[in-house]
Amino acid sequence: MGRGKRYAVAASRRWTDEEEGRRRLPAGEVHAWEPGRNETVCGLALSRSQLTRFSHVTWPDVFPESGGAADRVQRVCRRCAAVAGRRGADARPRWRRIRPRP
């Protein structure tokens, strides 16, 4: 089985963390984004939606339980979370079919 995709973050706003050496971090509404593409995982065009790309922030870091870059994240896109997964302490295992119908 292949290795899973790694998603970065696209957000509606940004802020600068002075304590960590002026590092740009996402704020507002966040979406999963696959580097090299011009759209989010849920299908929003980055330029038309005016979303800022954060290629240095990984998708699991935007969840509050991660303690990463989630300080000013207000909303996580549900569609992106369904596709990219929610990987945190309370994450359920991915759904899988045990006995498929014939």
**Phi-psi region at 67: left, alpha or beta (left = phi > 0; alpha = psi -120 to 50):** left
Give the strands of the sheet with 23-33, arranged side by side: 52-58, 8-17, 23-33, 73-76
The pTM assigned to this predicted structure is 0.77
- The pLDDT tens digits for 59-80 are 888 887 776 778 888 899 989 9
Structure-token pair, residue 33: 């984004």
Angle subtended at Cα 33 by Cα 32 and Cα 34, rounded to the nearest 5 degrees: 130
Tens of pLDDT, residue by residue over 16-48, are: 887 777 788 999 999 999 999 999 999 999 999
